[in-house]
Amino acid sequence: MAAVKELLRAESDGTLSFGDYTLASKTKKDDFEFEGDIYKVKTFSGITKLEKNGMFVYESVPGSTVENFRETEDEVAFTVSAPGDVQFTLELEPESEYEVFIGGNSAGTMNTNLSGKLSVSVELGADQSTEIKVAKC
């Protein structure tokens, strides 16, 4: 899976792609306008973080590449790739239940905490990718 060399880009299908886990040092791109919002990404081999209008959206440890990130009121979907296993955290609606799909298969339901954060660990082989979908129950 190729890294997003621009660090953050808008796709023709109305989604975002971001992150480059191949970088040795922290690199960022900010003030990226997309559909009326301002995005910022920080990424490198250790972490990838996306913010929208100064608010947390996505974070992974270690760093990852995310393609075709789409967020609606009830769902977040994207493809994630990393050099191996990855844990990502999403900012969603506080104290809500979501079903998590990894590679098209349900991994069960999870609840967000008081601040709306939901953390998921994904087992990936070296430089592999998988589709993620998190849907509100």
Condensed to tens digits (0 to 9), the pLDDT of residues 62-85 reads: 999 999 999 999 999 999 999 999
Phi, psi values for residue 64, rounded to 5°: -145, 170
The verdict on residue 85 lying in a domain is: yes
The verdict on residue 3 lying in a domain is: no
CATH number at residue 37: 2.60.220
Residue holding tokens 């975002």? 16
What is the three-class DSSP state of 15? Answer: coil
Strand partners, 88: 60, 120
| pLDDT value at residue 5 | 82
Tokens of 17: 């792609």
The verdict on residue 1 lying in a domain is: no
When divided into structural domains, the chain yields a total of 1
Closest of 3, 136, 11 to residue 65, by C-alpha: 3
Closest of 83, 85, 67 to residue 122, by C-alpha: 85
Give me the residues of the chain with pLDDT under 70, please. 1-2
The verdict on residue 2 lying in a domain is: no
Strand partners, 6: none
| pLDDT value at residue 2 | 62
